[in-house]
Amino acid sequence: MIGLIQRVTSAKVTVAQKTVGEIESGILLFLGIQKEDCAEASERLARRILDYRIFPDANGNMNLSLRQVDGGLLVVSQFTLAANTDTGLRPSFSQAAASSTARPLYEAFVAHAHLLHGTVETGIFGADMQVSLCNDGPVTFILQN
């Protein structure tokens, strides 16, 4: 499971010109699910993202987590994160989980995040989504299980 997280001052997801998920200050998460991923991996990654210290403390150091600053989490499924780009001029998606496997893991991730944290918004799994964001910093990290 791959999580690309971005610290944002705001982010939203639209589908067919309708906003389906939106947060103010917090984390925008692009979530890629691979063939070998399991429910335990989604729980571990959810905890790690919520507790990852990327927000500034009183001294301006990245010492606070999303839960500590009570920020929002916007989760967007993104199978392209699982692409193999090591060779050639076209990505291979052979390591990406099939939709029938990825959807339940995505839903498990979101459910677990909801249990641990109050403000969780999502895109729509498998939809053609447009994502707007204001990256804060910019601060962007890739987390993997």
* Catalytic site positions: 78-80
Residues 6+ apart with CB under 8 A from 12: 19, 21, 22, 23, 74, 131, 132, 133
Q: How far is CA 52 from CA 46, 48, 65, 134, in A?
A: 10, 6, 5, 19
Looking from the CA of 129 toward its CB, the CA atoms found within 13 Å total 24
Both tokens assigned to 142: 């890739």
What Cα–Cα distance (Å) separates residue 101 from each residue in 8, 12, 89, 145?
A: 29, 26, 27, 17
